[in-house]
Amino acid sequence: MTQAATDRPPSPVAAEVRVLARTDEGLATAARAEIAAAEPVFAGHYPDFPIFPGVCVLECVHRAATDGEGAPVPADLAAVESARFSGAVLPGDTLDITLRWRRTENGWRCDATTATARGKSASVRLRYRAVGGAG
C-alpha cells in the first residue's frame, strides 16, 4: 500500500484502485477497480437494484489520480469541475479508469473517463492545487 493510500481519509469505497500503467511523466494513467457485490454502499443504494453511486466513481478516479509511484506532484483536490455519468456501475463490474493530466495556471487538471464492460460510465474533470498552495 502506498503512503497516499495509508494517509487517505475514510472512504465509502472498499474496492482497491490499482494503477496499471503511468507514462514516464505521470501525465497519463490507466487504472482499474473491481466493484464487488459486497461494497458497503450497495446496501442502501438502491434497494432491489444496487448501483454504485456517482460519488464513489469520483472517489475511484481521485485515487487513481493521486495514488502510487509516479503520480504528478503531491496535490490537494480543489474542485470537481465537471462530472457526467452516462452508464451505471453495478455489483461485479470492473471499472476501468483512464486519466490525463494537464498543468494549468493554478495547479493541475485531471480529465478522466471510466468504463465498464457495457461501455462508458462517466467523464470527470478534477482540479488540483499543489499541497498547501493556491488554486
Q: What pairing do the DSSP bridges indicate for beta strands 17-22 and 94-104? A: unpaired
Q: Please identify which of the residues 8, 18, 32, 45 carries the catalytic annotation.
A: 45
Cell of 68: 502510487
Distance CA 91, CA 71 (A): 28
Q: Provide φ and ψ at 120, rounded to 5°.
A: -60, 135
62 among known catalytic residues: no
Task: Look up residue 43 and give its amino acid.
Answer: A
What beta strand segments (E) does 57-118 contain? 75-85, 94-104, 107-116
94 by DSSP, 3-state: which? Answer: strand
User: Active-site residue numbers?
Assistant: 45
